[in-house]
Amino acid sequence: MSSSHPAVEVSGLVKDFGPVSSLDGKMIRVLDGVSLRADMGSVTALLGANGAGKTTTLECAQGLQKTSGGSVRLLGEDPWRAGAPLRSRVGIMLQEGGLPPAVRPLPLLHHVAGMYASPLNVEQLAARLGIDSFARTSVRRLSGGQKQRLALACALVGNPEVLFLDEPSAGLDPQSRNIVFELITELRDEGLAIILTTHLLDDAQRLADYVYIIDQGRTVRQGTVAELTAHTADAARELRFEAQIGLTLPADRLVHLDVSEPSPGKYCVNGALTPEDLAVIAAWWAENGILPASISLTSRSLEDVFLDVSGRSIR
Ligand SMILES: Nc1ncnc2c1ncn2[C@@H]1O[C@H](COP(=O)(O)OP(=O)(O)OP(=O)(O)O)[C@@H](O)[C@H]1O
């Protein structure tokens, strides 16, 4: 497996679509300077809201879309000009799946496997992804989550070095999601480069070694999940607890924090909480004979980072 190049290197990527009739025939710029790098043996996530430009970035990196500017390298080559040898080293799972409706899963997987020099064992892969349980059903009758698992198997069966996954957890129930996530982690540990898109912060948080936040066609923040969530200057935490309705919290002793009762009996203290603040709150509970029904303390999440950089929630 070659590791002399990054698996994917995108620099200043620009993509225009059009001409668009509703814009008087003008072009529309959907990517305006996306840069990223994905390494072998790592999971790289492109995280962003619907329409941010994640799929278009992947398609340019895969050579499925011609770029309008900037540069793209896939395993050291220009993917738009590259031929079959490069494509055989790359697995792609598109968002729509692109599966032929009339075939059954196992013949389809055998067919795809037959196009590669050293494919994975079809039966083992099918068993691993639970595809054997719906092996006799034609693609058109599969549920969304079943199609998703089959599309993942099709992307994998050629034994690729680089795997692109567009929204891999879309439509999966929690059990299938765990199976797919375990497989992705295992493939990463075996040395594959995995590049995935997601608008689910939890997916990025659970899977990604490195995250690029894409917003309005630009890379706006990048780093490991730990780096992105650990800006000391704004290391926010949130304390939530449930108790009697209508309590007045000691806001005068917590002046640097945001103290609220967002819904009756549910209290929230937000901001750069210190151990001393927690002691103040615990003392106030004791003084007033309050035993909360539930307490939670959470750290700054990727969601907060996304809010910071884009000014809005990802959902
Ligand atoms: N062929 C096209 N012609 C015109 N505009 C397009 C075309 N393909 C995508 N776009 C626009 O480009 C923008 C980015 O789309 P893209 O699919 O890359 O976003 P995304 O981040 O993957 O979103 P999602 O999470 O919804 O899949 C959107 O505004 C979309 O409408």
Give the pLDDT confidence of 56-79 residue by residue, as tens digits. Answer: 999 999 999 999 999 999 999 999
Q: Separation of 150 CA from ligand 1 center, angstroms?
A: 24
Residue whose CA is at the smallest distance from ligand 1 atom 9: 56
What is the spatial distance between Cα 146 and Cα 129, in angstroms, rounded to a whole number?
A: 9
Q: Separation of 30 CA from ligand 1 center, angstroms?
A: 7
Higher pLDDT: 310 or 62? It is: 62
Task: Supply φ then ψ for residue 65, to 5 degrees.
Answer: -125, 140
Q: Where are the domains of the chain?
A: 8-229, 236-299
Name the residue of 15, 27, 36, 54 whose CB sits within 8 Å of the most ligand 1 atoms, as the mutation to test its pocket.
Answer: 54
What is the spatial distance between Cα 77 and Cα 75, in angstroms, rounded to a whole number?
A: 6
Query: Taking the model in full, what pTM does it have?
Result: 0.80
CATH 3.40.50.300 matches 8-229? yes
Q: Separation of 9 CA from ligand 1 center, angstroms?
A: 21
Pairing of β 42-47 and β 210-215:
parallel
Tokens of 153: 């198997």
Is residue 139 a contact partner of residue 111, using CB atoms and an 8 Å limit?
Answer: no
Question: Cis link prior to 275 (omega < 30° from 0)?
Answer: no
Dihedral angle of Cα 51, 52, 55, 57, to the nearest 10 degrees:
140
Least confident of 116-130, 168-182, 201-215, 225-239: 225-239
What is the spatial distance between Cα 151 and Cα 133, in angstroms, rounded to a whole number?
A: 15
Q: What atom in ligand 1 is closest to the CA of residue 214?
A: 21
Helix ranges (DSSP H) in the chain: 54-62, 84-87, 105-113, 122-128, 144-156, 174-189, 201-207, 225-229, 275-287, 302-310
Asked if residue 23 has pLDDT above 90, the reply is no
Beta bridge partners of 237: 271, 299
Side-by-side strand order, sheet with 258-263: 258-263, 266-271, 237-242, 294-299
Residues of the chain with pLDDT > 90, as a percent, come to: 64
Name the residue of 17, 36, 64, 93 whose CB sits within 8 Å of the most ligand 1 atoms, as the mutation to test its pocket.
Answer: 17
What local confidence, expressed as pLDDT, does residue 1 receive?
Answer: 45
Residue whose CA is at the smallest distance from ligand 1 atom 25: 50
What is the spatial distance between Cα 170 and Cα 145, in angstroms, rounded to a whole number?
A: 7
What is the spatial distance between Cα 235 and Cα 217, in angstroms, rounded to a whole number?
A: 27
Over residues 44-53, mean pLDDT? 92
Residue pLDDT, tens place only, 246-301? 899 999 999 989 898 888 999 999 888 889 999 999 999 999 999 999 999 987 67
Name the residue of 28, 31, 55, 196 whose CB sits within 8 Å of the most ligand 1 atoms, as the mutation to test its pocket.
Answer: 55
Q: What atom in ligand 1 is closest to the CA of residue 48?
A: 21
Q: What atom in ligand 1 is closest to the CA of residue 58?
A: 18
Q: Separation of 88 CA from ligand 1 center, angstroms?
A: 26
What local confidence, expressed as pLDDT, does residue 314 receive?
Answer: 59
What is the spatial distance between Cα 166 and Cα 198, in angstroms, rounded to a whole number?
A: 7
Alpha-carbon 211 to chain mean position: 8
Which residues have C-beta within 8 Å of that of residue 10, sequence separation ≥ 6? Answer: 34, 35, 36, 37, 57, 60, 61, 70, 71, 72, 73
Residue whose CA is at the smallest distance from ligand 1 atom 26: 50
Least confident of 76-90, 91-105, 185-199: 91-105
Which residues have C-beta within 8 Å of that of residue 228, sequence separation ≥ 6? Answer: 211, 213, 221, 222, 302, 305
Residue pLDDT, tens place only, 117-140? 999 999 999 999 999 899 999 999
Taking CB atoms and a 6 Å cutoff, what residues make up the pocket around ligand 1? 17, 28, 30, 48, 50-56, 197, 199
Residue whose CA is at the smallest distance from ligand 1 atom 8: 56
Q: What is the CA radius of gyration of the chain?
A: 24
Q: What atom in ligand 1 is closest to the CA of residue 55?
A: 22
Residue pLDDT, tens place only, 159-172? 999 999 999 988 88
Average pLDDT, the chain: 90
Fold of 236-299: Alpha-Beta Plaits (3.30.70)
The SS3 assignment for 285 reads helix
